[in-house]
Amino acid sequence: MSTWVGIVTVALVTVAAQMLGRIVPVLGPAISGMILGLILRNVFAVGAGMETVTGFCSKRLLKFAVVLVGATFTLQEVAAVGGAYLIVILSTIAITLGVAFLAGRFLGVPRDLARLIGVGTAICGATAILTVGPVVRAKDEEIAYAISTVFLFNVTAMVLYPVIGQAVGMDQAAFGAWAGASIHDTSSVLAAAFGYGDGAGAVATVVKLTRTLFLIPLVALFTVMSTRSRTESHRGVRATVKAFPTFILGFLAMSFLSSVGVISAGAAAFLGTAAKFLVVVVLAAVGLSTDLSKLRRLGARPLFIGLAASLVVAAFSGFLLTAVAGGTRP
């Protein structure tokens, strides 16, 4: 019964978010869905016990949305966009990990917790944390702290980025590249970018997927650093293999079909619209599954690491896009 209640609840929040997004364009449907979900979950306790539905939306449905976005690109465009912003992505990942490590040492935060916050901020939020956590033998509470910390600043970025982008007059390509290179979680990247415009959403998706691929060498690096025996080495290799985001293959397959004309321009536009709708569903589910009381129980020091890393990733990537990439779509 709770499954059907969850499906209906997510659907109702999605419809309400679509309406609110039209009334308040600065928020857009996706961010509106997150806000409405958070209010229902934490003020009225709606959403408790619906983990099966919200988990399906935030994991599987999100990946399906990303695959659909692939239809709006040809493979040539994917290579051009990903390659154009590669130096921005690599530099931002490196500086973010460094800041998190140094902030952790300065604040006396356990090394593994600082690492996880850095990885989550630099790559792809909770996915990166859950992948790297077992490799570095982090404690369960450290993994939970890191996810909560990164989530807090992820939501903040999702709301503030479009406002900042409008204030400084960023064009679609520049904003999409900025969001894709610096907002932590994929769902929030898509929400912020597609809320800014379809062009921004398209660029952000490719930049974010390119960035996500760097989780693989990062897991391999932590495996080497943390290995103490042959058994641990084998475990680390398996974690490295599992780190590959297989939904990217679906994205590339859809891009290939667009490249060879199997997917027409009209069909690609329809699939792109469907992807944007699914992002609203995903954000509504994320809001409904988020218990803010858990965030209030965090200690202050991990939050300062998350704040430092988030500020650096936003400012540094924005600077590089202006200085190196020029803020324009290739």
Tell me the pLDDT band of 25, cut-offs 50, 70 and 90: confident
Which structure tokens are listed for 290? 């988020």
Confirm whether 2 is domain-assigned.
no
Confirm whether 13 is domain-assigned.
no
List pLDDT tens digits, range 269-326: 999 999 999 999 999 999 898 887 776 666 678 889 999 999 999 999 999 888 765 4
Confirm whether 48 is domain-assigned.
no
Identify the DSSP state of 321: I
Residue 314: partners with Cβ closer than 8 Å, 6 or more residues away: 157, 161, 178, 182
Confirm whether 14 is domain-assigned.
no
Q: How far apart are CA 67 and CA 245, in angstroms?
A: 12
**Which amino acid is present at 24?**
V
Q: How far apart are CA 104 and CA 306, in angstroms?
A: 10
Number of domains making up the chain = 1
Q: Would you state the pLDDT for residue 246?
A: 84
Cβ–Cβ contacts within 10 Å for residue 227, how many? Answer: 16
| DSSP per-residue codes, 120-164 | IIIIIHHHHHHHHHHHTT--HHHHHHHHHHHHHHHHHHHHHHHHH
Domain, as residue range, for 108? 74-281+291-325
List pLDDT tens digits, range 215-272: 988 888 888 777 655 555 566 566 666 667 888 999 999 999 999 999 999 999 999 9
List pLDDT tens digits, range 313-325: 999 999 988 876 5
Q: Would you state the pLDDT for residue 324?
A: 63
Confirm whether 63 is domain-assigned.
no
pTM of the predicted model, to two decimals? Answer: 0.88
Confirm whether 306 is domain-assigned.
yes
